[in-house]
Amino acid sequence: MLKGIPKILSPELLKVLCEMGHSDVLVIADGNFPVPGMKGENTVVIRMDGHGVPEILDGILQVFPLDPYVEHPVNLMELMPQDVGRIETPIWDKYREIVAKYEDRGADAVGTIGRFRFYEETKAKACCIIATSETAVYANVMLQKGIV
């Protein structure tokens, strides 16, 4: 046991977070995310069934520095054009609140990227994909690690 480590962070996840270097990418995936198809050759998949993205994001950001050298070290998956005005994403407000607790730039550190670019960047760059049971749609989050 360690003091000061959020209980939601498993030893396996802590190891991955610790091994990640500056500019490495981590994806916290909602329950609809096609994890097997997004896994790159060296990507670690960590299952966190039974947990939602907000609680995992909050736990991670307590120990994970965000990249200060990019405009948006946190990226969300944009709505597809046909979903704009039809699907609500209130979970994004939760994400912005969580990021603002740990990041000097506040919610300005959060950006969005298109669905297919999100997939491409996950395949090409993600060191780790965390598979969750999150039921909210468009609830995927991409984090870029900074420095301590």
Q: What is the pLDDT of residues 17-30, one digit of tens each?
A: 999 999 999 999 99
pLDDT given for residue 22 in this prediction: 96
* Res. 142: pLDDT tops 90: yes
H/E stretch holding 54 reads: helix 53-61
Average pLDDT of the segment spanning 11-19? 97
pLDDT of residue 122: 97
pLDDT at 2: 81
What does R_g of the chain's alpha carbons equal in angstroms?
14
| Per-domain residue ranges of the chain | 22-144
Average pLDDT over residues 34-63: 96
> What amino acid positions are annotated as catalytic residues?
22, 67, 119
Give exposure, 95-109, as e/b (b: 16+ Cβ within 10 Å). Answer: bbebbeebbeeeeeb
Predicted confidence at residue 1, as pLDDT, reads 72
Written as six digits, the tokens of 25 are 């990418």
Tell the CATH superfamily of the 22-144 domain.
RbsD-like domain (3.40.1650.10)
pTM of the model: 0.96
